[in-house]
Amino acid sequence: MARARKKKPNILLIGIDSLVRTHMSCYGYPRLTTPHIDEFALGGTLFENAFCPHVPTTPGYGSMLTGRDCFGTNCVALRHKGQFPEDCKSLAAILGEIGYNTTCVGFTGNAAARGFQNYLNFSGWGPGADGRSHKAEALNEVAIPELQRLAKARKPFFLFLRHMDPHTPYLPPKPYDRMFYHGDEHDPANRSMEPVYAFEPFRDYFLSWLPGPGLVTDKDYVIAQYDGAVAYMDACIARIFTTLEVLGILDETIVVINSDHGETLYDHECWFDHHGIYDNTLTVPIIIRYPEKVPAGLVVPGYCQHKDLVPTLMELLDVDPGVAFDGESLMQLVRGDKEHLDTEFYITECTWMRKHGWRTPQWKFFEALEPDFHFKPQVELYDLLHDPEELVNLAEKEPAVVALLRERMNAFIAKREGEVNRRNPMFTQECWHGHPDCGPAFSSSEQAYKTMHIGDPKEAAKLQDRGKTK
């Protein structure tokens, strides 16, 4: 009698928007922000040096969900226009073709989330009646019943969850709002938020979710809100882990934790957002748990990127999808076959600012393709070994290093353009939203500054007035 073929493992990919790994306790952050993910990581393999080279959300998830770089996806901007190229096949499409049930929670309509059979939504933005955002609880209300439904089917499943808690507005529910802060966020003697409110393009947005009474004056309070949102989300993710256990499928499921990009807090004057291709925006977590093939408790220091995730999953499933990937399997690092994958790589951002560059283990070079609304220098160069926080721009002092890194970057661009037979999307994307008054690119930082505006000033004023009357 023929032996029944073993069912392939399920895949649960937890994508966490705007989570920078340096604010996770399992990555060494001194605040205990991720105790449940920390425990989860002990049962799997944690990758210490994972990067999101293409910021922000759509190119980040686009690479994560296809195994391609920005040339392969032809995507570098948040509001990507049109479909990804035909030869850029999504993980959901690949798995659907080999018999998987596939569901996406919280990412309907985005070009990066193509190919799923089923799309579900949750309330992932803004405050509830208590003035706090219950994003992860809302996700669980949708995701857990779907997980239970998928687990009952004869087919394996691929479930993708897009968590939104670390994304602004940072409004964690109680008690997480005070978990990491015990001061007076309205102390008039604290002036650390003055430069944040002075940045007019985002000012009204900040005022809309940091209501009174009075202004929040302490930037550490806002950072603590981010950390509290991460801790709140971590507690809710524990319910997902418990559900897998109760259903008896935890060890039969490849569980991945990843992020589309990091986050800027009080860094580089890019205030509480995720633009600027400094390392706080490029650094993301990757943690994989699958006891059958992935070692428990392993920490891998080798360099890797988003594009390496799909090839890894293909190896773990023992599947040849018949499509090309730009990334490689992370299992090479796990086995020790390679120390690193790509140690030098192309970096891009093309939403609020249009910049690209080249990162090596020591050097970070990037340049603006149009003036930016922060009035930053056109060229920036940082020595990551001696200045890991990227505080001292060495571009004028080290012109030879700038020239060398620009040459490497341009050679890579030419190579990839030839391979995909398309122009680099960084050269074809218009300035943010293709603003009709600005042409394809901003002509000055002043023009960019005056054109950019996020947030409704009337709503911001209303919230401030409401706070004063409490």
Q: What is the CB-side half-sphere exposure of residue 275 using CA atoms within 13 A?
A: 19
Q: Is residue 209 a part of any domain in this protein? A: no
pLDDT value of position 470? 40
pLDDT value of position 78? 87
Query: Which residues lie below 8 Å from residue 275, measured CB to CB, with a gap of 6+?
Result: 55, 56, 264, 281, 349, 351, 352, 353
Token digits of residue 135: 């994003």
pLDDT value of position 2? 38
**Nearest C-alpha neighbor of 466 from the set 49, 131, 119, 41:** 131
AA identity, residue 138: A
Q: Is residue 304 a part of any domain in this protein? A: yes
Whether residues 359 and 272 fall in one domain: no
| CATH number (domain holding residue 223) | 3.40.720.10
Residue 198, SS3? helix
| CATH number (domain holding residue 420) | 3.30.1120.10
Whether residues 330 and 377 fall in one domain: no
Residue 156's domain comprises 10-183+218-343
pLDDT (tens, 9 = 90+) of the chain, 470 residues, equals 334 457 899 999 999 999 999 999 999 999 999 999 999 999 999 999 999 999 999 999 999 999 999 999 999 998 887 778 989 999 999 999 999 999 999 999 888 999 999 999 998 677 888 889 999 999 999 999 999 999 999 999 999 999 999 999 999 999 999 999 999 999 999 999 999 999 999 999 999 888 777 899 999 999 999 999 999 999 999 999 999 999 999 999 999 999 999 999 999 999 999 999 999 999 999 999 999 999 999 999 999 999 999 999 999 999 999 999 999 999 999 999 999 999 999 999 998 899 999 999 999 999 999 999 999 999 999 999 999 999 999 999 999 999 999 999 999 999 999 999 999 999 988 765 556 677 778 889 999 899 888 887 676 666 555 444 44
pTM: 0.94
Whether residues 282 and 374 fall in one domain: no
According to DSSP, the β-strands at 345-350 and 298-305 are unpaired
Whether residues 257 and 314 fall in one domain: yes
Which burial class, exposed, middle or buried, applies to 75 when counting CB atoms under 10 A from its CB (0-12, 13-18, 19+)? buried
pLDDT value of position 432? 59
> How many structural domains are present in the chain?
2
- Cα distances (Å, whole numbers) of residue 316 to 62, 173, 254, 311: 21, 38, 9, 9
A 10 A CB-CB count for 259 gives 27
Whether residues 152 and 285 fall in one domain: yes
Whether residues 167 and 246 fall in one domain: yes
pLDDT value of position 345? 98
AA identity, residue 375: F
